[in-house]
A and B are shown apart, each in its own frame.
Chain A
């Protein structure tokens, strides 16, 4: 990775507490263009809170977050919505709209960010392309309840891709999936990253997923950045806290 590249995401000294529970403590990180950064940590270590702070679903108590050159806490609602169009988010629970078909789920983000004419002209192709990218073009008229766990994850990924995002945030993308499907999803994430030339931030504790997808891994322990290195270097580490994840 080139050192002079301007970071796509900059997180500077953020803190977040829920009551007495200090989830993030003075946490900082940078993500460079085209990078696949994995945030690794135990359950409750603040990974999901961090990724939700990046997209402003949760506001940090202090610190600054800059995404695609915009201070996320300084934007008004319209500016934030425009920025969010450039950021895809894959939720841990997939968050597909139960009452809508796959097509309607994918078209939902378009209704805000595209004009009526653009939708009439291009929505059909955009849906088709996004579904083909995840290998599920035949599910376009199905309801989410008719899909398996792995298929729902792929559809959720297709929905995150439909606006051609510059950044994709994945919140535990392989949680709850069998090892084979988890591997397929991990490989799909790498393919998608290459095709869309997107920057990815992946929250995970699935070591296989991390091995397949990551360029760099940040280890989050007690709300702080404990280690920041490649997967291979971390795997060879003798630090007992790091070894816990590999043994």
Chain B
């Protein structure tokens, strides 16, 4: 049987990168113009932030709990059980909580934006907005990207706190550490160089998720099939970008000596 290798068009790939760059440049042009859609921005903050909070919260809690339970045996083996809160907190704050939050947002927000705008494109709602004199890019894209850029760091910060609480419960399943001692150990090991890079990169995660989700939806074609494809590719590309940004962020923190 002959194996069929999928044909990857290099030009199409480069064109797509060029289109995303142009789309991003247009975002910055539109965001700098006066008359912003504040009401729609608040509305999007509600959908992106509040409506994702439960999912992020539950995941963060389980993440903190599981990481603590999984890490304990190794630390016990080396007689370093007392370092459990410190180790878990550094892992959660620096890497795991922001990245997992961003991946959840890429899945929920990215696909939501891709599907919503894609559906609006194929049912001519975006054209109807343009005909009515509204700038659909500003109304639909700018508000969503701004909301994602602002809300993903907020969600990530809440995920940090909730995951640390999960860690506290995890520590106390087998051991016994008081509430005060746990937080004393957590904040004893965390400092500015752990918190700031972790927070800054989440703004970039949010921006990337917003741009990719809206780009895929806004440029959706080929009817309902295209809407599904927009939602799926939005999640895939946004998730990949989260890892790429994380990799770059680690390199930059390393160069700046913040590790």
Contacts and interface: CB of A to CB of B under 8 A. Distances in A.
A108 B132 contact: yes
Contact of B131 (A82, A84, A97): A84
Interface string A206-235: 000000000000000000000000000000
A245 interface: no
B17 interface: no
Interface residues of A, number: 22
Contacts of A113: 133
Contacts of B133: 81-82, 84-85, 109, 112-113
B125 A95 contact: yes
Given A84-B131, A85-B133, A113-B133, 20 more contacts: A52-B127, A55-B131, A57-B127, A57-B131, A84-B132, A87-B131, A89-B128, A93-B123, A95-B123, A95-B124, A95-B125, A97-B128, A98-B123, A98-B125, A108-B129, A108-B134, A109-B133, A109-B134, A112-B132, A112-B134
A42 interface: no
Contacts of B127: 52, 57, 91, 95
Main secondary structure of the interface of A (DSSP, over half): loop
Interface of A: 52, 55, 57, 77, 81-82, 84-85, 87, 89, 91-93, 95-98, 108-109, 111-113
Contacts of A108: 129, 132, 134
Nearest to B43: A99
B43 to A, nearest CB: 9
Nearest to B130: A57
Contacts of B135: 77
Nearest to A109: B132
Interface of B: 119-120, 123-125, 127-135
Contacts of A89: 128, 131
14 contacts: A52-B127, A57-B127, A57-B130, A84-B133, A89-B131, A92-B124, A95-B128, A97-B128, A98-B119, A98-B120, A98-B123, A109-B132, A112-B132, A113-B133
A210 to B, nearest CB: 23
Contacts of B119: 98
A216 to B, nearest CB: 24
Closest 8 CB pairs of A and B: A95-B128, A81-B133, A109-B132, A95-B124, A112-B133, A91-B124, A89-B131, A95-B125
A111 B134 contact: yes
A151 to B, nearest CB: 16
A138 B114 CA distance: 34
In this complex, the member of A52, A93, A113 whose beta carbon has the largest number of chain B beta carbons within 10 angstroms is: A93
A109 B134 CA distance: 8
B192 to A, nearest CB: 42
Contacts of B129: 108
Nearest to A113: B133
Contacts of A109: 132-134
Contacts of B131: 55, 57, 84, 87, 89
